[in-house]
């Protein structure tokens, strides 16, 4: 019965098929309040910030992933791809923020009410391997000098990384030469911390 209650609809006694759907009968849109500005080409959607921004109204930082009820509107086209505008009100002040899609560069652009937080980084900063781009690959394949240059650089990096890996392995072997002993030390540390926490609570609350 529960699954039928979820999909069944109530049809008033005076409804008949000539009056159209239930939404037409009640004089409302299927999207309810989200479609209140549909006559202006605006649909209310749930929008999630794609990056960190600074609100220009209250100068507050708003993090990536914060969600708003935004006014979504088509403002143009890039070839056959629509360019969309998302307009939302800051939850900390009365300032309105507007963000547009940029299909040409596959990104979002802050147009008004805020500024994007500049966050530049290199792959090495997060210890991510930098992969060669297509132009670099093609140059290596066709140019013998480029192959030789990168071969020497790759050997140097491999030697440096090998030493780091050996150091890590050495420290790991030293720390976990006796797993039972390390486990005993860890449990002892937890017990001491637990007793200290309990004694602190006892002295605080009497």
Q: Which of 82, 116, 150 is the last residue of a domain?
A: 116
| Cα–Cα distance, 58 to 95 (Å, whole number) | 8
According to the model, what pLDDT value does residue 53 have?
94
pLDDT at 88: 94
CA–CA gap between residue 124 and residue 59 (Å, rounded): 31
**Structure token pair of residue 104:** 């040409």
- Check residue 4 and give its pLDDT: 56
Among the residue ranges 36-45, 51-60, 84-93, the one predicted with the least confidence is 36-45
Model confidence at 139: pLDDT above 90: no
Does residue 102 sit within a domain?
yes
Is the backbone of residue 65 left (phi > 0), alpha (psi -120 to 50) or beta? left
Q: Are residues 58 and 97 in the same domain?
A: yes
pTM: 0.52
Number of domains making up the chain: 2
- Do 196 and 169 lie in one domain? The reply is yes
84 lies in a domain? yes
- What b/e string do you get for 147-183 counting C-beta neighbours within 10 Å, with b at 16 or more? eeeeeeeeeeeeeeeeeeeeeeeeeeeeeeeeeeeee
Mean pLDDT of 102-113: 93
Last residue of a domain, one of 75, 90, 116: 116
* pLDDT score for 154: 76
24 has a pLDDT exceeding 80 = no
* Beta-bridge partners for 84: 74
Dump pLDDT digits (tens) for 55-87.
999 999 999 999 999 999 999 999 999 999 999
50 in the same domain as 31: yes
pLDDT bucket at 131, cuts 50 / 70 / 90? low
pLDDT band (50, 70, 90) for residue 153: confident
How far is it, in rounded angstroms, from Cα 194 to Cα 198? 6
Reply yes or no on whether the pLDDT at 114 is more than 90: yes
Going by pLDDT thresholds of 50, 70 and 90, the confidence category of residue 6 is low
In the prediction, which pLDDT does 25 show? 67
If you average pLDDT over every residue of the chain, what do you get?
Answer: 81
| Confidence category of residue 122, pLDDT binned at 50, 70, 90 | low
Least reliable range by pLDDT among 85-89, 93-97, 160-164? 160-164
Instruction: Assess whether 20 and 92 both reside in one domain.
Output: yes
């Amino acid at each position: 019965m529960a699954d039928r209650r979820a999909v069944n609809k109530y049809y008033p006694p005076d409804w008949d098929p000539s009056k159209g759907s239930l939404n037409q009968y009640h004089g409302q849109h299927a999207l309810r309040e989200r479609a209140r500005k549909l006559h202006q080409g605006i649909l209310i959607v749930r929008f999630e910030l794609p990056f960190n921004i600074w609100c220009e109204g209250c100068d507050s930082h708003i993090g990536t992933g914060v969600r708003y009820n935004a006014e979504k509107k088509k403002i143009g086209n890039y070839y056959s791809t629509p360019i969309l505008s998302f307009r939302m009100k800051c939850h900390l002040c009365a300032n309105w923020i507007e963000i547009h899609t940029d299909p040409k560069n596959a990104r979002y652009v802050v147009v008004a009410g805020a500024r994007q937080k500049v966050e530049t980084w290199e792959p090495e900063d997060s210890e991510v391997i930098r992969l060669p781009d297509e132009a670099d690959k093609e140059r290596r394949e066709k140019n013998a000098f480029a192959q030789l240059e990168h071969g020497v650089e790759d050997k140097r990096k491999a030697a440096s990384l090998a030493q780091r890996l050996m150091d890590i392995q050495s420290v790991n072997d030293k720390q976990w030469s006796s797993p039972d002993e390390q486990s005993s030390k860890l449990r002892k540390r937890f017990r001491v911390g637990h007793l200290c926490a309990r004694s602190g609570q006892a002295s605080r609350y009497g």
